[in-house]
Amino acid sequence: QVRLVESGGDSVQAGGSLRLSCVASASTINTYNFLAWFRQAPGKERQGVAAIYTGAGATYYADSVNGRFTISRDNAKNTLFLQMNSLKPEDTAIYYCAARDAIAGSWRESASYTYWGQGTQVTVSS
């Protein structure tokens, strides 16, 4: 069973950048068909931010982050990344990485992911 550990969260000013990392242990990240980043702001539902289908290398983004965020992976380091640029106050949330085996179904569906990290806080001030 994979263990996912996120890092890289911080407090930044609007317009700034952060790179989140998610290191996998006990299993290779490419074992899973989908790797994703979700976020959850206080009082809001968990939202899919970006995902990568490892088989084809296809990437997917929420409209709110498309063009600003980039999901990537380093197979040698067994690590998933989320590069976040042009950050906005509305990006403030706890960010989670997740992994699932299933191919079918929307990448945005949090319930379809089996493995989750503990989360890392991102705070963007105006």
Cα-to-chain-centroid distance, residue 93: 12
* Lookup: tokens for 45: 């539902």
Q: What is the pLDDT of residues 47-59, one digit of tens each?
A: 999 999 998 889 9
Tell me, what's the pLDDT at 81? 98
Closest by CA position to 22, among listed 76, 64, 78, 105:
78
pLDDT tens digits along 58-102 = 999 999 999 999 999 999 999 999 999 999 999 999 999 999 999
Q: How far apart are CA 17 and CA 2, in angstroms?
A: 28
The per-residue pLDDT for range 18-44, each reduced to its tens digit, is 999 999 988 888 889 999 999 999 999
Q: Which residues make Cβ contacts (< 8 Å) with residue 66, sequence separation at least 6?
A: none
What tokens appear for 27 in the block? 């299993």
Residue 2 has pLDDT above 90, yes or no: no
pLDDT for 1 equals 80
